[in-house]
Structure 1
Amino acid sequence: MATDIYSLSISARLTLDMHSLNNEGGEGNQIQTRMVDIVAADGRLYNVNAISGDMLKHIQAEHLYRIAASNEALPLCAACKLFDANRISADTAYTEQIKGKSDGEAIDLMVQTCTLDDLEGNLITADRSTPRKSVAEFGWVVGVPVDEEGRELTTTGSYFHVKYASERGGSARDAAKEEGARKANLGQIPFHRPASSGVYALVSHYEIARIGYNDIIHRYGLDDNARLARHKALLESVLYTFLQPNGAMRSAQLPHLVDAAGVISYSTDVIPAPTVSPLNPGYPRRRRSACRLRPTRRHPCGSLPSTNLQRSLACGRPRLQVRVGNR
């Protein structure tokens, strides 16, 4: 029997080895990985490797796009069919249709036209400023600096690489000089690239009841069957985000996903599913306490994608007839 779900959240610790999924750029021949400052549960400040929530949401959105592109029940606007980052804002047919219409009518048309814009959000800026808040919310995935005994759990190293050159004789050196004059970078180029390993804390939240919901005029723009189809597609894309965490430098540094364990919680009425950061070593216990606020449920997941995760993501449905905005 399907369970009505108002909101759903995931708190998990991921063990990732030798990855470089999110980098800030390069300086000379050194690629710089993304580092952030955090305050851990012990109250101390740490500088740790991280993956931005933007990166994680892009990964999830790409999986959702692929799911929708292969399912006629999940319509996409003209721009999203090309996975345009501007989404429906780049759909000229849509921008023409909303001229002279109210913001509420513009959101209604957006929700009915495109699955990606409905679930991932957008801001229409053509002659207006009309927001569509995302159903999916992702926090930074940050390295857990130390365990309860003070042992380091996350580290980043820099590794030397050089482009292979099959010929190293005089003719090759002459060619390199000529190449240097035109700066085509055809010779042997030494460079350093990072790789990080460790335990990472992940939090995410999904406002399931807002699927197809127009926040401006406070009503649903889709029927129940359409909302259920999008609900299933959204949670399938979340599952794929764990199975295939896309990102930078995967062609030669495909991450080792060693383990992922955490807690999934969901609410069945107008109360947010609780989220406690896995930076806190006691997060499963604290989340259990938060779940005593009824009506919420939690499912511990010993290893993702575990049976519990798949069951939690597959068996629910968006809660029907919930007024999310002002009553």
Structure 2
Amino acid sequence: MKPVFSLSIAARAVLNLHSLNNEGGEGNQIQTRMVNVFADGRLHSVNAISGDMFKHIQSEHLHRLAVQADLPLSMGARLFNANRINYDLDLDKEFLNQLQTAKSNAGELDLILQRCAVTDMAGALITAGNRSLPRKSVVEFGWVVGVPGSVKTDSYFHVKFESERGGGSAGVDESGSIAGKQTPFHRPASSGVYAIVVQVEAARIGFNDISQRYAVDADQRRKRLRALLESILYTFIEPAGAMRTAQNPHILDVSGVMTVSSNVIPAPCISPLKDDFVSDVQRVAESLNQLHPDAIELFSFDSLGAFAEQMSRLIQEAEPFTLPAVNGA
């Protein structure tokens, strides 16, 4: 396979009886998240799962894979601390001194990219020592939104039994029965077809955006790329989130299209909110290939199994694209 510059995934997933993302509670009613989207010439209010939730799912899988592959990790990333490299800067004075001796943002970013693969790929805002040094994530998730007319949220009645331990002997009343109270509440569950978009800037793995040069070697970039792609596959196979203990989603189907760019042009992606998104992505890919022959490879899939097959091949064969160094940088 040609080197991977960027990758895009546009898919529709059928999720049944899930509650992956909620806004909180009001009284005894758990509120599900709703957003407005424009489709078919008008606005629709639909159930949605935030991109933050799916980014967290992917980062959790990436953390496990990075530990297993023995990729370089900061103490924070190894502990799956949300602060990642900032955790080290608060505790490791020697590393903080190394950054201070770098004397430039570009030199500091080199040290950070070399020290932590998860910070490299998942991003972070480095704020220690009066800094404001951003590292943009190389993977981006859009909102996972219900396709208008194809998703519905219902509210289901539940009762929680609470034993009263305050009076009597271990919560037993005078009749010998267990004393307690029943707390009713309403829990949402959503089912339907959801639109998913994912974009990966594979060429930026290990790339210092300030100096415009790579901070790690090609072998390390290859290992990081494969761990990243594998984590994205597992995000589709096992989407984590709220209330999975009793409402683990039924993943019925996943279908869509994946595009891979081997040139410095973006891998095309069109929202699955559009009914003919697959054919439209194909037309865009064909147009780009006329400008840059064979720059875009396209893989369509009609099931989760087919998607896993395509991703598995890509993971095994993918090589990182090398951006040219900028003269004088």
Q: CA offsets per residue over residues 171-225 of structure 1, 9 Å max, x none?
A: 69x989xxxxxxxxx7421111100000000001000000000000000001110
Asked whether the equivalents of residues 229 and 311 of structure 2 are also in contact (C-alpha less than 8 Å), the reply is no
What is the CA–CA distance in structure 1 between the aligned matches of 2:35 and 2:326, rounded to whole Å?
34
The alpha carbon displacement at 1:312 in A equals: 3.1
The alpha carbon displacement at 1:304 in A equals: 1.7
**In structure 2, what is the equivalent of residue 319 of structure 1?**
321
Q: 1:204 to 1:308 in 2, by over 3 A?
A: same
Equivalent in 140, 144, 149 of residue 147 of structure 2: 144
CA RMSD, 1 decimal: 2.2
**In structure 1, what is the equivalent of residue 59 of structure 2?**
61
What is the CA–CA distance in structure 2 between the aligned matches of 1:48 and 1:66, rounded to whole Å?
33
**In structure 2, what is the equivalent of residue 34 of structure 1?**
33
Which ranges of structure 1 fall in alignment gaps of 5 or more residues?
Answer: 147-152, 177-185
What is the CA–CA distance in structure 2 between the aligned matches of 1:137 and 1:75, rounded to whole Å?
22
**Within-5 A mapping of 1:17-32:** 17-32=16-31
What is the CA–CA distance in structure 1 between the aligned matches of 2:196 and 2:229, rounded to whole Å?
16
Which ranges of structure 2 fall in alignment gaps of 5 or more residues?
Answer: 174-179, 290-294
Asked whether the equivalents of residues 123 and 130 of structure 1 are also in contact (C-alpha less than 8 Å), the reply is yes
**In structure 1, what is the equivalent of residue 292 of structure 2?**
none
What is the CA–CA distance in structure 1 between the aligned matches of 2:326 and 2:203, rounded to whole Å?
7
Equivalent in 72, 81, 85 of residue 88 of structure 1: 85
What is the CA–CA distance in structure 1 between the aligned matches of 2:126 and 2:144, rounded to whole Å?
29
Equivalent in 230, 238, 241 of residue 244 of structure 1: 238
What is the CA–CA distance in structure 2 between the aligned matches of 1:197 and 1:95, rounded to whole Å?
49
**Within-5 A mapping of 1:56-135:** 56-72=54-70, 74-92=71-89, 93=92, 94-100=95-101, 101-126=103-128, 127-135=130-138
TM-score by length of 1: 0.88
SS in 2 for 1:237: helix
Q: 1:325 to 1:66 in 2, by over 3 A?
A: farther
**Within-5 A mapping of 1:1-327:** 2-40=1-39, 42-72=40-70, 74-92=71-89, 93=92, 94-100=95-101, 101-126=103-128, 127-146=130-149, 153-164=150-161, 187-292=181-286, 293-294=288-289, 295-306=295-306, 307-323=309-325
**In structure 2, what is the equivalent of residue 180 of structure 1?**
none
Question: Which amino acid is the alignment partner of residue 129 of structure 1?
Answer: S
The alpha carbon displacement at 1:131 in A equals: 0.8
The alpha carbon displacement at 1:281 in A equals: 0.2
Asked whether the equivalents of residues 215 and 324 of structure 1 are also in contact (C-alpha less than 8 Å), the reply is no
Question: Which amino acid is the alignment partner of residue 283 of structure 1?
Answer: F
What is the CA–CA distance in structure 2 between the aligned matches of 1:166 and 1:117, rounded to whole Å?
46
SS in 1 for 2:243: coil
The alpha carbon displacement at 1:102 in A equals: 1.2
Greater percentage in helix:
2
Q: 1:125 to 1:319 in 2, by over 3 A?
A: same
Asked whether the equivalents of residues 239 and 305 of structure 1 are also in contact (C-alpha less than 8 Å), the reply is no
Q: 1:77 to 1:275 in 2, by over 3 A?
A: same
